[in-house]
Chains A and B, each alone.
Chain A
Amino acid sequence: DAGVTQSPTHLIKTRGQQVTLRCSPKSGHDTVSWYQQALGQGPQFIFQYYEEEERQRGNFPDRFSGHQFPNYSSELNVNALLLGDSALYLCASSLLGLDFEQFFGPGTRLTVL
């Protein structure tokens, strides 16, 4: 079992650009959550996808959007990048309602210049 995988591992963008991050959940999981972790801070919940729909959303602007595919993998898109979007983006997968653990991937380090 490969666990949760994320790509790419590192990414450098400039202000105003758009970025797409990818996540493959742990085998058997149907729910994917995304978190933003700024340097020296705890992760902040962005949103969660289940059955290809956004199920929950944290306090993030509409520049942050996502998608879940039929195979449960997910993408996080960020438009009009700001310097403050520089962070580690973590993906976590779980089984909705039947499990109490979210399994985290290693993250994608995004740097906005």
Chain B
Amino acid sequence: AQSVTQLGSHVSVSEGALVLLRCNYSSSVPPYLFWYVQYPNQGLQLLLKYTTGATLVKGINGFEAEFKKSETSFHLTKPSAHMSDAAEYFCAVSDQEDSGGGADGLTFGKGTHLIIQP
């Protein structure tokens, strides 16, 4: 069974500082990997995804993530935090075995609440 671990339920950074949100996964096969953001009282919005190819993935709003197979990690970074980045962030995996592409049911981590200090 797949699982996703997000280290740190809350992360606080100063505006303009580096954002680093950690995600480790366990999967029997190389998975598809996703980061989603959720603002209060809203659904989830995709930030970025890794499926195949280049392991450094760039997403929206200046975020990027690197797939490291040897470390089973997919950490999310942003060079300079903005107040508007304050939200809940979820890492998710989808097993490639079911042939549904990224449309297969996702396994999510518990989320990391990002706080931006002025």
List A residues at the B interface (Cβ < 8 Å): 4, 31, 33, 35, 40-45, 47-48, 55-56, 58, 90, 92, 94-107
A44 to B90, CA, bound (A): 12
Once A41-B110, A42-B110 are accepted as A-B contacts, the answer to whether A99 and B43 lie under 8 Å apart by CB is no
Residues of chain B in range 15-49 having any CB-CB distance to chain A below 8 Å: 32, 36, 41-46, 49
A102 to B36, CA, bound (A): 10
- Can you offer 7 A-B residue contacts whose CB atoms are under 8 A? A31-B100, A40-B110, A43-B90, A48-B104, A55-B100, A97-B103, A100-B102
Chain B residue contacts of A107, Cβ below 8 A:
42-43
Q: A94-B102, A104-B43 are in contact. List 12 more A-B contacts (CB 8 A).
A: A31-B103, A33-B105, A42-B111, A45-B107, A48-B103, A90-B44, A92-B44, A95-B103, A96-B101, A100-B101, A103-B46, A104-B44
